[in-house]
Amino acid sequence: MTTLRRTALMTLVALATTSGFAVAQTAKEVKVGYALAVNSHYGAAAQTWADSVEKSTKGAYKFKQFPASALGGERELIEGLQLGTVEAVIVSTGALSNFVPEVGVVDIPFLFRDTAHARKVLDGEFGQDLLTKFKKRGLIALAWGEQGFRHLSNNKRPVTKAEDIKGMKIRVTENPVHIAAFRTLGASPTPMAWPEVIGALQQGTIDGQENPVSVFVSAKLWQVQKHLSLTAHVYAPMALIVSPAFFGSLSDAEKVAFIEGAKAGALASRKFVDDVEKKAVTEIQSHGVQVVTKVDVASFQAGVAPAYKQYAAKFGQATIDKITQTK
């Protein structure tokens, strides 16, 4: 081997190893699935995650986004992670409780005082410890993103107090905590995967649904809903998760890149939600939806109070207190 060829080879090896990332002739594809459109808080998180990883790994990985439930509903996405058929997902806590029961505690109604409280809990020791619970369920959770506080919409009548929803068929996530809350309020909670919701509202199979305004706007729910009440009954985080099989195949440096990218994506989702919520009500009203901005929150809190016995029995009163007492 000539001196020139030897020098060139050594240079290539050095380039491949000094950064901690392998030099790839073709970027490895990372499929990331989520429920809503690209122009949503899910999409904002996915794009920032992708940009961060692709930059820090010098193009060794390339994200391919599958928005709008293209890979299935959230249950199917989570199962895909466990099976290793999808590398990454961004999902709400709605379906996660069926896989990681401990997550259900954050879905308790009126648990968080406001957005700042919720973010402090999730960014703090409690929330970060909760992420570690995923591993024993065949999932690797990297960060908490955000959807915002959930509000109630329907096609029956304006809802100003808890009594107004009695008998209503309300779509809820496939989440035992949400189901218990609406059943306690006297509604008829109907668990349903997100891809089925629009059709069910159009056909009158259900009367309403509950979601943050960020979802209401991105899904254009004004096309199928007449009334929206700002109940803010549950704070809704979302999780950025990867497949254990995929994560296990990464080098230490690549793992750091995916973790840091997920954290950046989580922050992007929060910013998106903050921006949307500044103008969401006006936009929703412009499409003919009647919005009740002043809701008798105390009536909802009193209505769900009996369910707290179930929640305490399931998650432990000490756990609930730890969250509510976070300053």
Task: Please tell me the predicted confidence (pLDDT) of residue 165.
Answer: 98
pLDDT at residue 7 greater than cutoff 70: no
In a domain, 5, yes or no: no
Q: How confident is the model at residue 151 (pLDDT cuts 50, 70, 90)?
A: very high
Task: Please tell me the predicted confidence (pLDDT) of residue 233.
Answer: 98
Mean pLDDT of 202-207: 97
pLDDT at residue 212 greater than cutoff 90: yes
Task: Please tell me the predicted confidence (pLDDT) of residue 21.
Answer: 56
For residue 51, the enclosing domain spans 25-315
- For residue 157 the two structure tokens come to 């009548």
**Higher confidence at residue 272 or residue 25?**
272
Task: Please tell me the predicted confidence (pLDDT) of residue 143.
Answer: 98
In a domain, 1, yes or no: no
Task: Please tell me the predicted confidence (pLDDT) of residue 252.
Answer: 98
Task: List, for residues 311-320, the tens digit of each pLDDT value.
Answer: 999 999 999 9
Task: Please tell me the predicted confidence (pLDDT) of residue 23.
Answer: 47
**Higher confidence at residue 74 or residue 1?**
74
Instruction: Determine the 3-state secondary structure of 248 from DSSP.
Output: helix
In a domain, 19, yes or no: no
**What CATH code is carried by the domain that includes residue 192?**
3.40.190.170
Task: Please tell me the predicted confidence (pLDDT) of residue 243.
Answer: 98
Average per-residue pLDDT for the chain? 93
Task: List, for residues 92-118, the tens digit of each pLDDT value.
Answer: 998 999 999 999 999 999 999 999 999
C-alpha gyration radius of the chain: 22
Mean pLDDT of 188-208: 97
Strand segments, DSSP code E, in 204-284 are 208-211, 227-242
| Strand bridging mode 28-34 / 61-66 | parallel
pLDDT at residue 12 greater than cutoff 60: no
Buried b (16+ CB within 10 A) or exposed e, 196-216: ebeebbeeeebbbbbbbbbbb
In a domain, 327, yes or no: no
Q: How confident is the model at residue 90 (pLDDT cuts 50, 70, 90)?
A: very high
Dihedral angle, C-alpha 308, 314, 316, 321, nearest 10 ° = -40
Task: Please tell me the predicted confidence (pLDDT) of residue 15.
Answer: 45
In a domain, 279, yes or no: yes
In a domain, 73, yes or no: yes
Task: Please tell me the predicted confidence (pLDDT) of residue 91.
Answer: 98
In a domain, 154, yes or no: yes
Mean pLDDT of 201-212: 98
Percentage above 70 pLDDT, the chain: 92
Q: What total number of domains does the chain contain?
A: 1
In a domain, 296, yes or no: yes
pLDDT at residue 18 greater than cutoff 60: no
Mean pLDDT of 258-268: 98
Task: Please tell me the predicted confidence (pLDDT) of residue 14.
Answer: 46
Cα(321)–Cα(34) distance, rounded to whole angstroms? Answer: 32
